[in-house]
Each structure stands twice: as structure tokens, then as C-alpha cells.
Amino acid sequence: MNDEVVITGIGALTPVGNDRESSWEAMVAGRSGIAPITAFDTTGMGTRIAGEVKSFQPSDHFDTKRTRRISRFTAFAVVAAREAVADAKLSIDEDNRDRVAVVVNAGVAGFDTIEAATRQLVADREPSSYFVPYSLANMPSCEVAIDLGVHGPVNANVLACASGLYALMDARRLILSGEADVVVCGGTDAGITPVFMNGLSTMGALSRRNDDPVAASRPFDVDREGFVLAEGAVVMVLESAEHARRRGATPYATVSGAALTCDAFHVSAPSPSGEYATAAIRTAVRRAGVAPDDIDYVCAHGTSTKANDRTETKALRAALGAAVDRIPVSSPKSSVGHLVGGAGALGAMVCALAIRDGVVPPTINLNSPDPECDLDHVPNVARRLPVRTAMANAFGFGGQNCVVVFTAPDLP
């Protein structure tokens, strides 16, 4: 069909792997990337654990000049984009570079760069002349465009924890509107900094299970106490199905439908009714042209906070009805933590690879299910099953509810 948009390439940097396949293998195996923070001294902090990207050195990927200037969240995006483009076997040249767009979103954006510059000023040292542009939320998109040499539409949107998934929704629109043939899209963030973490901790949002970091992220478990902040990026190549067919690309999945709603309730808490999360799920399913009974897997937002997990369960039950009782609903945040701007894009990757491999990753650390989270959350062990239709949820601060439905591609 000429109105289909497909995923043909995926790149990733996560707390459990520095590429797509190692990250996926670790999540399916139920390994955790949560550990004590190494980036700075956490003495006296309430939360001293996070999901850091391990063994990542910008100098391994960029020349000396660029290494000095590039922010961590932007470096993640560029490296993940390179992997995605290589995976898609996409050649970019003078003939097509004006038809390639970029949408890479972030939630925290350049908080680390601003924090470092502030510390330099306090110490009477002059910050880098690049700290302003390299802290901007649109910089990952712009740097990816520079790195790839593309000149199509380049933009960025900030929807807190829904940012990365919304990038796919936006990319799909660009392709269906005819503005681009290909969109490099996804999410990135690197918010593991003293000020940002202390702010979240003061809100009561973070787990303080410092003595047992591997068990700290436990979505849907009765003993959960907050999410675990993480960093990383997931970037994908989306293109029209016809464009992919013409160049012989093999799709992972079709991006079949999407929806975005707003609770308009609170700056951080979800609406307890789950009414507009429910509406987003129902609308995305309808737009995808599928029914609740067609859904084989849901990659949950599943943050490991009391309010989110219960509200998401309520919304899924209201939107999908009796079908939800047979649908596996797992949260990869149990393994990798919360990538904020990258979280929704990671959920999209999980859906695409679940369709490819016929396996859904578990929700680890789920030992005592919360009675109010009464769905099949795939506790602790991955499950093999055919996945033809999968759905990803991403719910952000401010009540932004983004849902995307993926279906198995029609292969020749």
C-alpha cells in the first residue's frame, strides 16, 4: 500500500548495550544495566544509582575538535543514527539528500552542558563558547543532519518522557504528507547529573534502593518505590513502504497508527482516571486498522512509580477490554531504567524486534505483583510467541500520552 510507513534501520546506545543487538539480547535475557553512578561523586545524595551507558567515549567516534564540543546526549544520537542508517543500507547522496528528514527528540536535552557551564561561572571560569548551542533541544537533530549531510526537514519536539515515541509519529506524518521519503528519527537523553537527579529525588520520583541497584527498577511490583534514571538513545530509519521496496530494503515493522492526547491535569502526575491515556490507545488502535483482539504485545511505559503503573493498567483495561487479559504487557525499563527522551524510542525498538524475532522481553524484578496492576506483565523470563501486532506506550510529564501501533510488514 502507498500509505504505509516502515522501519528499515535501528541503532541504539543503552545501559545494557552499545548497539541494537547487544541491547536487545540483554533485555530478552533479563539483564539489568542499573548500577552505582560513576560519572560524579554521589556522596550525600538520596539516590546514587542510575542506568549509565557503559564504556562510551566520544573520542572513539569523533575527531578531537568535535569531541570537545559535542554534548553527551547529542553524541549518543549521532552514533545511534549512524548505526540505524548502516542497518538500513541507506545510501545518501546528491540525488536523495533533500528528501531525507531528521526528527530526534529529547526531554532533558543539554542539562549536563548547562550545569557544567554554571559550575564554571561559579568558579570564576569562563564556560565554553559552544555551551549555549550544544545545550539546545534541537541540536541532536541538527548534528545528525550535519553528520549525514541531509537537507530535508529537520526538527525536534519536547514531550518529556513521550518525546522519543512521538518522533516516530512525526516522522510518519512527514512521509505521508510527501515532505520526505526517509526520516531518521528517535530519542536521546543524558540527564544523569547532580542537579537533575537531586531535583527528581526531591520530587520523590526516584528509587532509593542504592544497596541493590539491579532490583531497583521494578515496574508493576508492589514493592516499587520510583523509577531509575537512565541515559541513551534509540534512532530509527523510517521510509515509505514503496521507497523501501524500490531500493530492496527489508522492513522490521510497519508503523501503522499513532495518537497523542493530553491529560491537562498536572505537571508531573498522570490523571488518576486514565481517561486520556485510554483515548490515545483507542485512537492509535483505530488508526492502525486493527482491533484489540489483534494485539499480540504491549511495550508498556511502565516506569516503576505507583501512580504511573496503576494508571497505565487502568487505561489498557479500559481501552482494550477483555482482550487485554491475554496480551503480554512488559516494561523494558525494568532492565534499562528510564531513558526519558529516549524511552519511547526504545519502546518502539522493542516492538519492532519482538515482531522480527517472535519474543517479548520480561519485566524483571516482578516478584510480588501489585493487585492493582493485574495484567500479564511477563514476569522475569522472556516469552516466545508470534508477534504480528505490537503497541508502545509513552506517557510524559505534563500529561502527554503518545501511543504507536506496529504491525508485521508485508514482505515480498
Give the angle subtended at the CA of 8 by the CAs of 67 and 376, to the nearest 5°.
100
Distance CA 226, CA 295 (A): 29
Active-site positions read: 161, 301, 338
Burial class (CB in 10 A: 0-12, 13-18, 19+), 36: exposed
pLDDT of residue 133: 87
Q: Determine phi and psi for 366, rounding to 5 degrees.
A: -95, 85
Q: Residue 164 belongs to what H/E stretch?
A: helix 163-176
pLDDT in tens, 112-171: 999 989 999 999 998 888 888 889 999 999 999 999 999 999 999 999 999 999 999 999
**Helix, strand, coil percentages, rounded to 5, for the chain:** 40, 20, 40
pLDDT in tens, 210-244: 999 999 999 999 999 999 999 999 999 999 999 99
pLDDT of residue 219: 98
pLDDT of residue 405: 98
Q: Determine phi and psi for 229, rounding to 5 degrees.
A: -65, 140
Average pLDDT over residues 83-110: 97
Pair (68, 108) in one structural domain: yes
Does 341 map to a domain?
yes
Pair (210, 316) in one structural domain: no
Pair (55, 197) in one structural domain: yes
Torsion sign, CA atoms 170, 171, 174, 176: negative
Does 251 map to a domain?
no
pLDDT of residue 91: 97
What is the domain range of residue 392? 257-407
pLDDT in tens, 266-313: 999 999 999 999 999 999 999 999 999 999 999 999 999 999 999 999
Q: Which of 190, 216, 246 is the last residue of a domain?
A: 246
> Based on the structure, what is the number of domains in the chain?
2
Pair (161, 76) in one structural domain: yes
Does 412 map to a domain?
no
Average pLDDT over residues 2-22: 95
Distance CA 309, CA 329 (A): 11
pLDDT in tens, 317-358: 999 999 999 999 999 999 999 999 999 999 999 999 999 999
How many C-alpha atoms does 42 have within 13 Å on its Cβ side? Answer: 19
CA distances from 135 to 53, 62, 111, 116 (A): 19, 18, 7, 11
Distance CA 40, CA 68 (A): 19
Distance CA 77, CA 233 (A): 6
Does pLDDT of 412 surpass 80? no
Average pLDDT over residues 25-54: 97
pLDDT of residue 197: 95
Per-residue cell: 401: 500520552
Pair (157, 66) in one structural domain: yes
Does pLDDT of 377 surpass 70? yes
Distance CA 327, CA 308 (A): 19
Does pLDDT of 207 surpass 50? yes
pLDDT in tens, 318-328: 999 999 999 99
Pair (224, 331) in one structural domain: no
Pair (92, 50) in one structural domain: yes
Pair (65, 200) in one structural domain: yes
Distance CA 7, CA 254 (A): 6
Does pLDDT of 2 surpass 60? no
Pair (109, 207) in one structural domain: yes
pLDDT of residue 253: 98
Pair (171, 62) in one structural domain: yes
pLDDT of residue 45: 95
CA distances from 262 to 89, 166, 255 (A): 37, 13, 21
Does pLDDT of 394 surpass 90? yes
DSSP reduced 3-state for 144: helix
Does pLDDT of 55 surpass 90? yes
How many C-alpha atoms does 284 have within 13 Å on its Cβ side? Answer: 33
Q: Which of 196, 219, 246 is the last residue of a domain?
A: 246
Does 22 map to a domain?
yes
Pair (167, 189) in one structural domain: yes
Q: Which residues contact 167 (CB under 8 A, 6 or more apart)?
A: 103, 104, 105, 157, 185, 186, 187, 344, 345
pLDDT of residue 1: 42
Pair (205, 131) in one structural domain: yes
Distance CA 193, CA 113 (A): 10
Whether the Cβ atoms of residue 324 and residue 375 lie closer than 8 Å to each other? yes
How many C-alpha atoms does 271 have within 13 Å on its Cβ side? Answer: 16
Mean confidence (pLDDT) of the chain = 96
End-to-end C-alpha distance for the chain, whole angstroms: 12
Q: What strands lie across the sheet with 400-407, from one edge to the other?
A: 154-155, 100-105, 182-189, 232-240, 5-13, 253-262, 400-407, 389-396, 297-299, 329-330
CATH code (residue 101): 3.40.47.10
Q: Which of 246, 274, 307 is the last residue of a domain?
A: 246
